[in-house]
Chains A and B, each alone.
Chain A
């Protein structure tokens, strides 16, 4: 019985989310109201617990430097009163400072230098390989990177010969978008089938006594 109840609750929420595709309805609205409450509660609980275990308790045990983050965090609430809202700039600026420093370093390495390096490596690995197709693939990648990067040049109109280069770049970009689309489409398809299996296994078969 308890299992069927669980199946019923789960199925209600699955149907509630899916029903929106058909049209706006009360089941969807009720389900979304429930889930927003639940989601906020989960997030609030996890974070509040962390504030205690990693902030308040170590502070009470003498880790006094933790006063700074705790105080800065509280300043974020100053936004609620317009007259003292400027106080929130302290924590905000601190967070963005840390983020920007972290971002410049990480992005430079992972998304620029490594990508340039890999393009050259791909090209020469292709040349070193026995198959001429690998060499061709290396060249295609190099051409693709150069033309697609050229598409993002903003100080020149995409006309004439440069227009053709950016056009080739756009084709590469579009194939890439198509491949990303397909990867996610098939994944989401599996998720849908998984939900149907849940409804069958948790609700329909048990109800029919075929579990």
Chain B
């Protein structure tokens, strides 16, 4: 490619990029409220939580990464709100280094106390332990083999909620959060196949295709990407950051499609000329 042609293309890229940026920016300042249809797997995800009897024990395996939060924060906030609204007892455990920090930021926003929740009685945070597949297996068999104390260093036996909770037998639902696409297999193998624990999953948009084959038989519902977060916000009636992201992505991607159209029109016109 000669340097002139290259320069011409670079100019085109820059026009497309600027157009994308402007179109992403506008809805953030001036929300448009464009429609978002709710997909089946998100409805099933929501209903799985909603249909739990009040006071069920929900374990949240939390493998979030702070750099990927834009993609997932809407999912998290909406899920925690649903859990608290339906008065479930929640056990959070972090499987990544960033997990506790992200959870901290999340809970500061959602404020469990505003739902009448008391730490230690209605929800508990178990801190961080690196849990690979073997770790998930160990946790499901015996929670205390992985965590002996909570995030704040209190022995699990001294926490009212944890007193009678030891293993998968005491857990009514697993919410499995992960960011490495193949990790869904760990939950399926170690919780679903091994113990038949009802499981729902939340992950990145690009991991959706790998989670789909397990739905709805092994995983009862799943959220993939920020769009799913928005859908959950809509279906649960809890507005959050997802709506703005959806709005912005609706518009922001349009220059990309126009570019694809343009390059093809140009190509076919060139071909006609050559003929």
Residues on A facing B (Cβ under 8 Å)? 21-22, 179-180, 183-187, 189-197, 200
Residues from chain A with a CB closer than 8 A to the CB of B227 are 186
Interface residues of B (CB under 8 A from A): 14, 17, 20-21, 24-25, 28-29, 68-71, 204-206, 208-209, 225-227, 241, 244-245, 248-249, 252-253, 256
Inter-chain contacts of A183 with B (CB < 8 A): 205-206, 208-209
The answer to whether residues A187 and B71 also contact, given A22-B14, A192-B252, A193-B245 and a CB cut-off of 8 A, is: yes
Interface of B is mostly: helix
Per the bound structure, the CA–CA distance linking A189 and B248 in Å amounts to 9
Task: Please measure, in the bound complex, the distance between the C-alpha atom of A90 and the C-alpha atom of B21, giving whole angstroms.
Answer: 52
Among residues of A, the one whose C-beta sits closest to the C-beta of B205 is A187
Other-chain contact of A196, B14, B28, B69, B71 (Cβ < 8 Å): B28
A193 to B74, CA, bound (A): 13
Whether B206 and A193, one on each chain, are in contact in the complex, defined by CB atoms closer than 8 angstroms, is: no
A197 touches B225 (CB 8 A): no
When the two chains form their complex, are residues A194 and B245 in contact, meaning their CB atoms are under 8 A apart? yes
Judging by beta carbons under 8 Å apart, are B25 and A186 in contact?
Answer: no
Q: With the chains together, A60 CA to B28 CA distance in Å?
A: 57
Q: Which residue of A lies closest to B97 (CB)?
A: A46
What residue in chain B is nearest A183 (Cβ atoms)? Answer: B206
Per a CB cutoff under 8 Å, which of B69, B70, B225 touches A193? B70
- B13 CB → nearest A CB, Å: 8
Specify the chain B residue showing the minimal Cβ separation from A114. B185
Q: Which residues of chain B are within 8 angstroms of A196 by Cβ–Cβ distance? A: 21, 24-25, 28, 248
Can you list 28 contacts pairing A with B, beta carbon distance less than 8 Å? A21-B17, A179-B209, A180-B206, A183-B206, A185-B256, A186-B205, A186-B206, A186-B225, A186-B227, A186-B253, A187-B71, A189-B249, A190-B70, A190-B225, A190-B226, A190-B249, A191-B70, A191-B71, A192-B20, A193-B245, A193-B252, A196-B21, A196-B24, A196-B25, A196-B248, A197-B70, A197-B244, A200-B29
